[in-house]
Amino acid sequence: MARLIILLVALTASPIGGARAQEVETVRVATFNAYLLSPIFKCANPNFADCLVQIQGQTEKQAEHLADTILKDTDRFDIIAINEAWDEDAKQILIDKLKPVYPNYVRKIDAALLKVRPQAIVDAITSLDPAAAVAIYGEPVEKIDGEDSGLMLFAKSDFKFMPLPDDSFKWGKHDGETLDAATDEVGFTLYDHCGGVDCLSGKGAAIVRLLHLPSQSNYTVVFTHMQADYFEKSPAELHADARDAQFDQIEKLIETTLSPLTPAQRKRERVLVMGDMNVPLFHPPTGEWARRFATPGTYWTSQHYDSWAATNSADPGISNYIDGERYDYILAAPKPYLSGGIEGPICVQHVTIPVDFVDLESDHNLLTADLNLGNNFCSPSIAYPVNLTTRKGPDGKPQAEELIDFRNGQDVTQIRYPGSMQWFHVVRQDAGSYSIGPDNPDVNIDIYQPSNMTTPISSYYGSTRTVQDGEHIFTVHTYALPKEFFIRVTGKDRRWQGNYALLVRRHTCATKEEACPLQPGEPPQFASLTEAGSLLGSQDEAWFRFDVVGQADSGADQTVTLTADGLPDPSRYKATLEEFDNPHGGEPPIAVSGTSRIVSDAMGDGTHGYLVIHQAAAGSQAVRVRASMQTTVRNLELKALICEDETNPEFGSDDIFTQLSIDSRTIRFPPGGEVEFDCDDSADQKDWARFGSTNLTFVDHAGMKVFEQDDTSPNDPSHANEFPDLPPGASSLDGVRNPLIWNFEGGRYRLNYELTMRRNEPVAAAP
């Protein structure tokens, strides 16, 4: 069958290859709480003089780090909304570094707070340290005008600022209103309600309208930073009343600004509301998130929706691992894309938390959304349901598969627009192994589990193989997958559009060639030993491949447990190890008899083989058998040690060293000397590379002590913290990231790390 592939050389206002302008609309947006604090938010303490010396250059380095991370892949974001950018030098660094790629920017939005809330500012300063505030601002308390909004926006050159339809909220035209931006078409509403130290800053919501030149579509972008929740200092949902009032102001800002548009124009308007909204998610059903985003009939459910909840319903989407909460949002309007053509709403194709931004200095994670014109199966919420059917393959053996291409005369597998995604959803009774791949080399395949829609599941083998099915030749990877998963299909090049077919084939485990791979931390792999004379004939063996990866840094082998289970009559079944190979020597372990066949032994890195379940003869009905693999090995990635406050209120600094107990060893980090931290209420982050090795492997336990060099007596408040075990049933992607905290006398330290069962990467070369 001839396949038409349309290539777009560039995304321009007049795309070539026959695509109309409105058919080129791939837009990627992001929001980030950057933690670029000004001195008042870092040094409002009795030791402010020492603190001011300590933080010199610190925030600027954070801004450099953020800008460099953004610029690593300039194709990843088209619009970036940043909040909590209060430091003036940090702002300028972002402008200088990002402006060549993002020439449309909003640098600063400020207000004369003394005119708006004079008493609230005095109260906020008094709650901090008035002497510090006077020293930092160089003004008496009654003349301190607080901080600006902390909001910034960047957009690429294929956007153009447009006039606001109604300029009632246009900022900068009245006394006390300051705007520094590449345009004067910026609206802003300063929040009337605030609580605590939030009153010291000009928090609010800004609005701009952008024309996307390639598609000629209009984007109304609202970016904000709302009243803080102060999770650690109070019960959850503190100041919810202030956020309620702030949401009302955002609603008024949007509706007033867009009021001149006709209903038809509003239907096609792409409206995004982005930022750190400080609405905690993980609370009872009657909590703030539910009231705001899950109560029918409200403005924020009838006119907008939480794109994360609509797209990744089973993924918690934690955007702040310190509090274990999701505070950051991208709200879209008017409603989720469900079906129809390009006249309908934009499709939010995917919402993620990129892993490389997790390691920045902020306690928040960047949130990003991929938008495009509506298309078949363009988001996980409307994924194509894969219906595997069992049939005889070319070799006469049963195969459970679906070849997805044309359905009812419609070509359903198609990257219809540049940057389009298509999603496929597999739900089975149990876990299994699969061969999955396209017939087009210009297409990428990524597999996700519902609880983690950011990090794709790695294929089992790193190499590919080809499978022919009729006229199609597929390039497939092998995957060991849970009972439910998503397949995302994209073009390898963002500009590409064209057709493809997709093969999803479940392995039978019937032979060594069709062996189902076992991986630690994954559910058992199932196979069926079929009965004689059935439609599919007899399958008397089930083959499961295992590969042992990793070894403790101490040199100890991991203990690997292989289990063959589901055998109703032990006398008719047996389990054996075939082609067992331990490169470190040793005889194959012996299976323990019983209704389950269990093999448990120390195995070194590179050990591999097959666990095979045999039945003596096919019975009268099919028997579902299963096999699984568990291991004691753990991978610990140390990311950063962060001083949130020095160990004692003092001038000077802390000289810190640590002791890591891992298995039977105790290791000093750094090996000699100490690492200096200056952090009088001003967080000082040191990447773990300053201490030593960042990746460690253990099989027994791991714990850490933190010491301040001149205070290491037996009564020292430094104490051991144990790294937690992985929760029961944790998959290979479900790492533990909750930081370790040390609360010292007058001080606080935090360790960021990630603990996983195994690394999410291919484990062996193809057999």
CATH of the domain at 573: 2.60.120.380
Q: Check residue 206 and give its pLDDT.
A: 98
| pLDDT-derived band at 91, boundaries 50, 70, 90 | very high
339 and 297 co-located in one domain? yes
Q: How many domains does the chain have?
A: 4
**pTM of the predicted model as reported, rounded to 2 decimal places:** 0.90
Does residue 397 carry a pLDDT above 70? no
CATH of the domain at 661: 2.60.40
| pLDDT-derived band at 62, boundaries 50, 70, 90 | very high
| pLDDT-derived band at 177, boundaries 50, 70, 90 | very high
Residue 287: how many other CB atoms lie within 10 Å: 17
Does residue 487 carry a pLDDT above 90? yes
369 and 399 co-located in one domain? no
For residue range 661-694, list pLDDT tens digits in order.
Answer: 999 889 999 999 999 988 876 788 888 988 989 9
Choose the weakest-confidence range: 123-132, 365-374, 632-641, 662-671. 123-132
Does residue 290 carry a pLDDT above 70? yes
All residues at 6 or more sequence positions from 587 whose CB lies less than 8 Å from its CB, including other chains = none
Q: Check residue 7 and give its pLDDT.
A: 29
CA distances to 31, 664, 688, 732, 739 from 287, rounded to whole Å, are 24, 46, 38, 32, 26
Average of pLDDT values for 468-475? Answer: 89
367 and 401 co-located in one domain? no
Q: What percent of the chain has pLDDT over 70?
A: 89
425 and 362 co-located in one domain? no
Average of pLDDT values for 324-330? Answer: 91
Question: Collapsing DSSP states into helix, strand and coil, what is residue 611?
Answer: strand
Q: Check residue 11 and give its pLDDT.
A: 33
Whether 15 maps to a domain, the answer reads: no
CATH of the domain at 413: 2.60.120
Token pair of 209 as six digits: 């309208």
Q: Which residue has the higher pLDDT, 616 or 212?
A: 212
Mean of per-residue pLDDT scores for the chain: 86
673 and 712 co-located in one domain? yes
In the listed set 329, 351, 374, which residue is the last one of a domain according to the structure? 374
In the listed set 374, 392, 409, which residue is the last one of a domain according to the structure? 374
Q: Which one, of 355, 321, 361, lies nearest residue 685 by Cα?
A: 361
302 and 343 co-located in one domain? yes
364 and 416 co-located in one domain? no
In the listed set 506, 534, 560, which residue is the last one of a domain according to the structure? 506
Whether 5 maps to a domain, the answer reads: no
Instruction: Give the highest mean pLDDT range of 134-143, 392-401, 704-713.
Output: 134-143
Domain residue limits at 275: 25-374
CATH of the domain at 341: 3.60.10.10
Whether 765 maps to a domain, the answer reads: no
Q: Check residue 26 and give its pLDDT.
A: 95
Whether 152 maps to a domain, the answer reads: yes
Q: Check residue 167 and give its pLDDT.
A: 96
Does residue 83 carry a pLDDT above 60? yes
Q: Check residue 702 and give its pLDDT.
A: 93
For residue range 217-274, list pLDDT tens digits in order.
Answer: 999 999 999 998 865 555 566 788 999 999 999 999 999 999 999 998 998 899 999 9
| Backbone torsions φ then ψ of 251, nearest 5 degrees | -55, -45
Whether 7 maps to a domain, the answer reads: no
Q: What percent of the chain has pLDDT over 90?
A: 47
Q: Which one, of 536, 560, 554, 461, lies nearest residue 762 by Cα?
A: 461
Element (H, E) at 244: helix 240-257
What does the alpha-carbon distance between residue 276 and residue 397 come to, in Å, rounded to a whole number? 55
Does residue 615 carry a pLDDT above 70? yes
Nearest-5° Cα angle at 308, 304 to 310? 65
Q: Which residue has the higher pLDDT, 296 or 712?
A: 296
Q: Which residue has the higher pLDDT, 530 or 96?
A: 96
Tell me the one-letter amino acid at 272: L
Token pair of 748 as six digits: 């606080």
Task: Report the Cα 227 to chain-centroid distance in Å.
Answer: 24
How many helical (H) and strand (E) elements, i.e. helices and strands, does the chain have?
A: 13, 47
Token pair of 463 as six digits: 């190499």
- Strand-pair category, 27-36 with 79-85: parallel
For residue range 490-511, list pLDDT tens digits in order.
Answer: 999 999 999 999 999 998 888 8
| pLDDT-derived band at 8, boundaries 50, 70, 90 | very low
Does residue 201 carry a pLDDT above 70? yes
For residue range 413-430, list pLDDT tens digits in order.
Answer: 999 999 999 999 999 988
370 and 395 co-located in one domain? no
87 and 208 co-located in one domain? yes
Whether 170 maps to a domain, the answer reads: yes
Q: Check residue 430 and give its pLDDT.
A: 86
627 and 671 co-located in one domain? no
Token pair of 159 as six digits: 């956007």
Q: Which residue has the higher pLDDT, 714 or 279?
A: 279
597 and 654 co-located in one domain? no
Whether 764 maps to a domain, the answer reads: no
615 and 488 co-located in one domain? no
Whether 90 maps to a domain, the answer reads: yes
